[in-house]
Homo-oligomer: A and B are copies of this chain.
Amino acid sequence: MRLSRWFTPSTTASAHCDLPCGVYDPAQARIEAESIKAIIAKVEGNDDPDFRTRAIVIKEQRSELVKHHLWVLWTDYFKAPHFEKYPQLHTLFNEATKLAGATGTKGALDAKVADQLLEKIDQIAEIFAETKKA
């Protein structure tokens, strides 16, 4: 199914909605993290200083969006019972959001840092998927 990559009929997707609309998806954070990784790769292959400036500006914005999408999952989606069942969850979110900040993807044009961020997001997505099944 060519659409399977993007969504299934029973998609629960995220929005920073907080009505609450009950619709969340770690894909929002991951998509921005993938953009950061792509930005870093583009800069690797381009020695124009103006391009580098733009890349830094845009990477700052995408990193901020990663932080935001993760914060929303941490506050709006996950509930007290989740934090009891997954005691590592607070630390995981704290480390992930730090990895999208000054000591992470904001502060460097380093593909390894982007990969660390993606790895943390995948760990969050794994727990998210388990809670959806429960």
Contact = CB atoms under 8 A, between A and B. Distances in A.
A117 interface: no
Interface string A114-131: 000000001001100110
Query: Is chain A's binding surface mostly helix, strand, loop or mixed?
Result: helix
Contact of A94 (B30, B39, B74): B74
A104 to B, nearest CB: 10
Interface string A12-45: 1111011111110111101110110011001000
A23 B50 contact: no
Contacts of A19: 39, 42, 51, 54-55, 58, 102
A32 to B, nearest CB: 5
Given A27-B7, A94-B74, A58 B18 contact: yes
Interface residues of A, number: 68
Among A5, A23, A38, A51, the most chain B Cβ lie within 10 Å of the Cβ of A5
Interface of A: 2-8, 11-15, 17-23, 25-28, 30-32, 34-35, 38-39, 42, 50-58, 60, 62, 64-65, 67, 71, 74-76, 83, 90-91, 94, 97-98, 101-103, 106-109, 122, 125-126, 129-130, 133
